[in-house]
Amino acid sequence: MAEAQLDPAITSMITKVVQDSIGLSAQISQLTAENVELKARIYKLENKADASEQYSRRNNLRFFGVSEERGEDTDNILSLLPIERGRRRKKLKSKLKECGHNKVFFNEDLTKTRANLLFHARGLAKSGRVEGAWSSDGSILVRVKHGDSFAVKRIDCIDDLNQFKSYADIARSPAPVGT
């Protein structure tokens, strides 16, 4: 029986297609690596921009529950309050109550990114997955239980919360029952 021979033109075309395919694979690998690097750079730049914006808000507070009246001078009302940066929140809260503003509360003026992190961290606290969540000086903090003690951890991104969520799920899951 005679062996079938491929036409040299077809062999040449198949060889070229295989070589082009290998070249495209190398190019795809290079572009994928470049994409990963660019994503990392964007992430760092977004974090720097957020930190800069948060720093510009460091002296700002957001008040909620204040009823507005026509012709009132909000600057005058706020000038009566002992507003200082730092740990004077209790003093400010008591002064608000003295002025008849029992339902008024305030928070740090957080960037959208950090406010979102705090929202999710507080959700984890409400569900019992972390012991507490709050902001301090623009940083988002959670308290987690480690054995018989507690640790305060800074949250910089949503992945940090997912890490504690996983930890809490594992810590709170029932121990396996022996067979």
Per-residue pLDDT tens digits for 110-123: 999 999 999 999 99
For the cut 70, the answer to whether the pLDDT of residue 144 exceeds it is yes
The candidate with the shortest Cα–Cα distance to 125, out of 89, 155, 95, 82, is 155
Question: Does one domain contain both 23 and 47?
Answer: yes
Domain that holds residue 131: 112-172
Q: How far is residue 8's CA from residue 29's CA, in Å, rounded to a whole number? A: 32
Domain count, the chain: 3
Q: Which of 23-27, 37-41, 62-66, 171-175 has the highest mean pLDDT?
A: 37-41
Q: How far is residue 167's CA from residue 146's CA, in Å, rounded to a whole number? A: 10
Question: Does one domain contain both 15 and 43?
Answer: yes
For the cut 50, the answer to whether the pLDDT of residue 173 exceeds it is no
As a 3-state breakdown, the chain gives helix, strand, coil percent values, each rounded to 5, of 55, 15, 30
Question: Does one domain contain both 90 and 131?
Answer: no
Question: Does one domain contain both 55 and 91?
Answer: no
Share of the chain above pLDDT 90, in %: 41
Question: Does one domain contain both 120 and 149?
Answer: yes
pLDDT band, very low/low/confident/very high, at 168 (cuts 50, 70, 90)? very low
pLDDT, tens digit, 9 for 90 and up, residues 75-108: 776 676 766 666 566 777 777 788 777 787 888 9
Q: How far is residue 162's CA from residue 164's CA, in Å, rounded to a whole number? A: 5
In the predicted model, what is the mean pLDDT of residues 144-163?
90
Return the pLDDT at 59.
86
Q: Please give the residue that has the higher pLDDT: either 136 or 2.
A: 136
Q: Does some domain include residue 178?
A: no
Question: Does one domain contain both 118 and 155?
Answer: yes
Question: Does one domain contain both 46 and 67?
Answer: no
Answer whether 0.85 is exceeded by the pTM: no
Q: Please give the residue that has the higher pLDDT: either 169 or 138.
A: 138
Q: How far is residue 23's CA from residue 155's CA, in Å, rounded to a whole number? A: 43
Chain centre distance of CA 176: 33
